[in-house]
Chains A and B, each alone.
Chain A
Amino acid sequence: MTFVTAKFDLVDHDGRPVTEASYRGRWLLVYFGFTHCRVVCPRSLTRLSNVLGALAPDLAHVIQPLYVTVDPKRDTPEVMRDYLTARYPLFVGLTGTEDQVAAAKDAFKVFSRPKPDPENPANYDVPHTAITYLIDPAGAYATHWPETSSAGDVVSDLQARLMITASQS
């Protein structure tokens, strides 16, 4: 029984249409969020950037980090590119239409629900799943880490998985 099908049909932050097949042959580190997120996304993206930085270069090289928006209304490709290149340059941002993003969320079992931002009534917040997914080079779900996982745990787990795969190939 497959719970996370990891399929998507979106647009990357350079405006190119992409699907999961576009990255076949590489491990995908997938995180859903939105660029207006004040706490959770910066914390997670910083942690994941540190994880990638802690890996040996030959391992990091086979991983493609993806940041998928749950707020396509505001997160256009340009907004995502500006946000990521300035802060988290290892990541590629993915966005799309409301329907495309909803389908991607469903494929990863991601929760998000816009609600008014108490600190800025003109704005809105989007609480969302803060899970990091690992997708294998064949496009299949490999594992995931909840927000509570430490960077060290993620590094150890990633190294073990990638090194096993490397030794088998």
Chain B
Amino acid sequence: MNLPLTPPSGSARHRTPASKLDAKQVGSIRQIENIAGQLDGEWTMMGGRCGLQEDFGAFRYQMAYAGLALALTHFHRLPNAPGVFKPIFENLIRKMMHPGVWMYWHFVSQGGALTNGHLWGKLKGKWDPVKEDNIMFSAYLTLLPMLYNYLFDDDRYAQPGALKMSINPLTFGDRMVFEYDQHKLSDIIYWQMVQNGYLGVACEPSCVFQICNQPSILSFRIEDFIKGTSRAQEVTEGYVKAWKEFGSVDAGGHFMVHVVTDIKMPIPNALPWLWSDAWLAALMHSWNPEFVHEHYPAMLQKFLIPGPDDTCAVRLWEPFEIRGVTTGADTADFGWAAVAAAELGDDKTLRGLLAHADRFMNPTWRDGGLHYPRNDVRYDENGIVRLVEPITSNTLLPFARLNVPNGLNTFYNQPWTRAHYAEPLLTEISNNVDVVEARFDPSASELRFTLNARQDRSGDAAISISNVFEKGRGSWKLYRDGVETASGDDERVSRAADLKIERHADVMELVAAREAASAYSLVWA
């Protein structure tokens, strides 16, 4: 990777004050781990109302934003514990390639709905979900492997054919296989952006949404970290110019939703929808924070509903008629408001929304994961917001709870240097403990990590720590709960009490009895 050896000039390296994850944050990570770890085709707790993979009930959104939430958590809160996140990412990427996630494209590629009805009957359905348009899927299938490469310094998804989608139906058609890799996907998206004058790539045919191109911008930025390129700068400069023609903000003061490109028609957020504004605000805050802060707070004020005891909620999207039928969809207004509040550092709103969720949305623990069971009732008899969509439970509230103020913005602008990957890292962690702290302090040559026992699992805790036995690193001591329990140097373990430690190449493998919580400190002389 072409990461800089030193932080970019003029930007002090962001360091979140060392702190341990609280129980709800741990439960949020576990909820994502639980849904991602389900077998292929198993989507328990993830099913939305629509079932057509076209609103926020779509699996792809749940998995993509779960991945982004984990990326921010790793970057800001547990930077030295990649082993917590890497297996979950592998599951998320695996599940993203399941046909149940992307086969909607065959139907959506034909156009003909609310957004592009004038195309109905003119287009043939396509199967390959990433070759053209469909940025609402391809952006995420690119982003997750890019994040994986960057966070874990592992380019397995950059190998030719590493991202393979296939169907082999029994009852129709023929076997179809679509093989890609992260950079090929990025190139596909990039050249479509170039050819569209950087306005963006369409979701459904001829419909270029502002929001759906934000994950691609983020993905380009990550690719720039990996390859030393500057696509994100090129694309964002072009994007700003291109959207000037149509306006990024509509006459009502909301973010323009999309442009129907073949008839050059901008579509405002006329109803308006909070989810659209909040989603864009959160993501665009990564690269265009001044613009977001200039416009979004006024948008939010139109929706906020104050509640008792410093709780707050938001006015929900109103169902409307499609072809004479009143239609509800998973819009996740509440969840996106929480994500935006967390990213923009609006602590009062964030605390109010999370408090509302904990008080009125039935927080439930299942297999160590914290979730809020789906509830299709919008408001109760007292006017209290009760609606919970799966994405709000599985992904957005975890995202809001785990992010830090300006978290995406910092992630975008202050990348890790190569030095990060040479630090001691918890690379493998047995599934019977939660890591609630993992941070290396270079100035003190100290890796601090804390393990909490999972109540629903048994056995000893096993941890692998890489970059320990590197020549020249010197002698070390390991403390558990303040008591020295082991010592050694860059070649061997000389003493270990009450736990088992072995050296395998540069990796320290540690096995210890599982206790409720154990705080470790690995210190070099």
Contact = CB atoms under 8 A, between A and B. Distances in A.
A146 interface: yes
Contact of B230 (A113, A127, A148): A148
Most buried by B among A109, A112, A115, A131: A109
B19 interface: no
4 closest Cβ contacts across the A-B interface?
A111-B197, A146-B234, A3-B191, A109-B195
Contacts of A3: 187-188, 191
B196 interface: yes
Interface of B is mostly: helix
B237 interface: yes
B233 interface: yes
Contact of A148 (B184, B194, B234): B234
Contacts of B234: 146-148
A129 B237 CA distance: 12
Interface of A: 1, 3-4, 109-113, 115, 127, 129, 131, 146-148
Interface in B34-60: none
A110 B230 contact: no
A135 to B, nearest CB: 16
Contacts of A113: 197
Interface size class of B (residues with CB under 8 A): 10 to 19
A113 B188 CA distance: 22
Contacts of A115: 245
Contacts of A148: 230, 233-234, 237
A1 B188 contact: yes
A1 B187 CA distance: 9
Contacts of B197: 111-113, 127, 129
Contacts of B191: 3-4, 109
Nearest to B233: A148
A4 B190 CA distance: 12
Interface of B: 184, 187-188, 191, 194-198, 230, 233-234, 237, 241, 245
A147 to B, nearest CB: 8
Contacts of A109: 191, 194-195
Q: Is the interface of A mostly helix, strand, loop or mixed?
A: loop
Given A148-B230, A148-B233, A148-B237, A110 B188 contact: no
Contacts of B184: 1
Contacts of B187: 1, 3
A147 B237 CA distance: 10
Given A4-B191, A111-B195, 9 more contacts: A1-B184, A109-B191, A112-B197, A115-B245, A129-B195, A131-B194, A146-B230, A148-B230, A148-B237
A111 B194 contact: yes
A111 B230 contact: no
Nearest to B234: A146
B263 to A, nearest CB: 13
Nearest to A3: B191
Nearest to B264: A113
B410 to A, nearest CB: 23
B196 A111 contact: yes
Contacts of A110: 194-195
Contacts of A111: 194-198
A161 to B, nearest CB: 16
6 contacts: A4-B191, A109-B194, A111-B194, A111-B195, A146-B230, A148-B234
A129 B190 CA distance: 13
Contacts of A112: 197
Contacts of A4: 191
A129 B188 contact: no
A22 B241 CA distance: 36
Contacts of A146: 230, 234
A86 to B, nearest CB: 29
A71 to B, nearest CB: 15
Contacts of A129: 194-195, 197
A127 B234 CA distance: 16
A105 to B, nearest CB: 8
Contacts of B195: 109-111, 129
Residue from A1, A4, A131 with most neighbouring chain B CB atoms (10 Å): A1
Nearest to B245: A115
Contacts of B194: 109-111, 129, 131
A114 to B, nearest CB: 12
A4 B195 CA distance: 11
A112 B242 CA distance: 11
A147 B233 CA distance: 11
A148 B236 CA distance: 11
A3 B185 CA distance: 12
Contacts of A147: 234
A146 B239 CA distance: 14
Nearest to A127: B197
Which residue, A3, A112, A147, has most C-beta atoms of chain B within 10 A?
A3
Nearest to A149: B230
Contacts of A127: 197, 241
Nearest to A105: B195
Contacts of B245: 115
A109 B189 CA distance: 12
A103 to B, nearest CB: 13
A157 to B, nearest CB: 12
Contacts of B196: 111
Nearest to A1: B184
A89 B160 CA distance: 43
A37 B198 CA distance: 19
